[in-house]
Amino acid sequence: MTDPLQTYWSKRIERCRAALAKNNFAVYVAENPADAGRLILSEILPGTAARSVSWGDSMTLQATGVLDELGKDDTLRIIRTFETGIPRQEIIERRRQALLVDVFFTGSNALTESGQLVNLDMVGNRVAAIVFGPRHVVITVGRNKIVPGVEAAMQRIKDYAAPLNAIRHAGWSTPCIRTARCSDCRSPDRICNVWSITEKSYPRGRIKVVLINQDLGL
């Protein structure tokens, strides 16, 4: 007997795949994080001829194991922007440099069924890299990020992803940490500062989206 849940997600993911392809994204589908990692390392990354890489914060990307493998490749120049014990000024400078790498890896806060990527950032380096700079962008997206449209994407981010992201960072103090929902705060730790909506990939194929048929990340 066919698994109804598997059938449901297969159909939704296929609709998203087709919509993303129509919007000029290069699209790949993986069944789990390990499959996504193998796909990125064996097919996507070699096709970019990358000599330099960096990444934005993404729990989904971390789950693929790609970052661990990149660290073993001594042919790549890696710009690390999340190292502990590094002065904040140096981290910001590294994030500026990361906008000129060959490949930038990250996740997405939401993906609409029409094939749009919707993201919200604190500093803006992640959305900046998606928009322009790196020659290639690889985005890993779990099926739980799929929403009907832009309005639903923004609601998902403000009422779910953003509060959870604030909660998981020790030492921050925002109202959403206490209430679990956005209140349009003025906190110095506010993480809801820069929106981006990516309607299409330009040039065609610059942004590569790896859809993963599992619930991953926030």
pLDDT per position as a tens digit, 181-190? 898 999 999 9
CB 204 within 8 A of CB 27: no
Tell me how far apart the alpha carbons of residues 65 and 156 are, in angstroms, rounded to a whole number: 26
pLDDT in tens, 130-156: 999 999 999 999 999 999 999 999 999
β-pair type (110-112, 117-121): antiparallel
Residues of the chain whose pLDDT is less than 70?
Answer: 1
CATH architecture of 4-148+195-212: 3-Layer(aba) Sandwich (3.40)
This prediction's pTM: 0.96
Could you tell me the residue ranges of all domains in the chain?
4-148+195-212
pLDDT of 154 reads 97
pLDDT of 1 reads 60
Q: 158: which residues sit within 8 A by CB, 6+ positions away?
A: 120, 181, 182, 192
pLDDT of 124 reads 96
Closest CA to 101 of 121, 66, 76: 76
pLDDT of 2 reads 78
CB 213 within 8 A of CB 184: no
